[in-house]
Copies of this chain bind each other. A is one copy, B any other.
Amino acid sequence: MLNIAITQLQTTSANPKINFERMKHFICKAINVKQDIIIFPEMCLPGYFNGDIWEQTSFLKECEFYHEQLRELSKNISIIFGSVGCDWEKKNEDGRVRKYNAAYCALNGKFIKNSKTNLNFWPKTLLANYREFDDSRHFYDLRKLAFEKNCSVQELYEPITVKLKNKKISIGLSICEDAWSENYSFSPVEIFSQYHKHDFFLNLSSSPFTLGKNKRREILFSQLAQKIQLPIFYVNCVGVQNIGKTIYGFDGGSAIYNADGTIQPAARAFEEGLYFTSALPTLSAEFPKNELDNTHVALEYITKQICHQWGINKVVVGVSGGIDSALSATLMTRILGKENVFLINMPSQFNSQLTISAAQQLAVNLDCAFASVSIEDSIKYSKKQFAAIEFQNSKQKVQITGFTFENIQARDRGARILAAISAALGAVFTCNANKTELTVGYGTLYGDIAGFLCPLADLWKHDVYAMAQFYNEVVFQKEIIPQTTINVVPSAELSADQNVLEGKGDPLIYSYHDFLFRSWVEHWERKTPEDGLQAYLENKIDNLIGCKQGLTKQLFPTKELFCADLERWWNLYQGLGAVKRMQAPPVIALTRRAFGFDHREHLGLALFTKKYCELK
């Protein structure tokens, strides 16, 4: 009987050396326990989310150097791994060298050649080009190659055939999207298995974590295994990779999907490891079934890994006494340790003793360093200095009022105090913005929208509350985030109009706007004011956006009120919100639509469609 090992590798972006060393470690381990085949995930050698580094020839050569090292290691084991495959004789459609997202199989010190394509690797057939994926930007694929050669994909495919223990084994090869073919005109896995005999199928993946995705994955792969009547070995990576503005965790979830539709989980979520398919651990529940638990695990994993990758071990968090900064501080304390987290409260005359005390209490509960740094004198100084400005050649005066003064306060906190103190401490500071705020740009650039990372940017405000409560109730099982912070009305406390003691706060009604905004951002069929108004008129708006039944009518009894609110926020989402997002710090992705690279946008005026105007 064949011994097959699966490696749920922790992959690092754009660093073949690091990835090779990890692979080598597991290969040696597998050889030691007499495994015949070891399987690694998609793009595990070069990393996957590498930006445009694929355009550097020296990077491709670096990958090929390590391919050779892996080939050398294959004398006593068959090694199957995902990497970039270059065809140096041919051009990519961008004029550079032709590259494939590919799978290699090395055995007896040689790469197995695909006799149909004459390449020493197996190209991916379907390329993902949505959300965070940019496959067609960099890679050629089997479909294009088939088109070029005027043949079908199955004519270019053959199983990976290895001779092991005097037996010929035919291994079916698919890479990630090849199995997620529901929206494509054909299913590579089904077609390949129709035309060829296989012993089992592989799916090498680099599939990032998304809330709810694992459930879809389980259904999809078990159905596919039943259809082709073959077991599918699903091998995904773990680790964290980013595309500049957006940071993704990879959750693994490697498993064997049996031909009868049953699932044999091979690996724990977010855990690197080598697993022997002949003796899989019995995992009662591979993924937390509860969404909050799932969010919590993913959030801590991704934040921890990205801090580690970026060499960050000390952090400053500006704490207002409000819920976002409290959650942020709690998260960072869990990740970096209480001795490496510095909480700073920055009061002005507009901050209530209630929230100041809550901030202080949070520090006590987390056992962190805490300091109070007032902005009162500095903002007064700025106001006075600006009022005294006399322009040469213009009678223009500088009057600081209203919003301008609010923003001065926010920037005094972010760009003056937090940026300087964190630099002086050899630390960085967090941006505590949540998804609701970032959607409509409710925050000040270079003020509270500043920092090295927005860990909470893919949580809606109600998710932030739920997560805070989860920390208190489940993680700590005591009150760490003060009840005052949970109870107080959410407020920026930048003016007398935002006095929490009088119950005044944010202009957002989170129980409604969270859901409205989600319909714009996260629904796969993206909603717009037209859809909202139509649903409002048909009394279906609560269903459409998923808020509490009856809430919308209660908040906006008339069409006029509904539209005024809708237009205000839609203008901000498409307008100033987008402007601010362009300069916001990187975000951690959790949902199926995170800001940044996953949510591409242009900067311009918000559009209200003809139909919206008519309905109105």
Contacts and interface: CB of A to CB of B under 8 A. Distances in A.
A191 interface: no
Contacts of A385: 373, 377-378
Interface in A399-445: 399-401, 403-404, 407-408, 411-412, 414-417, 419-421, 423-425, 445
Given A129-B137, A602-B51, A58 B391 contact: no
Interface in A281-327: 309-310
Interface string A131-156: 00010110000011011101010000
Contact of A391 (B12, B371, B527): B371
A363 interface: yes
Contacts of A415: 411, 414-416, 446-447
Contact of A51 (B377, B527, B600): B600
Interface residues of A, number: 125
A244 interface: yes
A577 to B, nearest CB: 12
Interface string A11-32: 0111101000000000000000
B134 A600 contact: yes
Contacts of A584: 583
Given A50-B602, A391-B369, A62 B607 contact: yes
A598 to B, nearest CB: 9
A13 B602 contact: yes
Contact of A602 (B143, B146, B243, B530): B243
Interface string A546-558: 0000000000000
B137 A15 contact: no
A562 interface: no
Contacts of A12: 604
Given A129-B136, A378-B382, A389-B373, A419 B424 contact: no
A3 interface: no
A428 to B, nearest CB: 10
Interface string A565-593: 00000000000001101111110000000
A209 interface: no
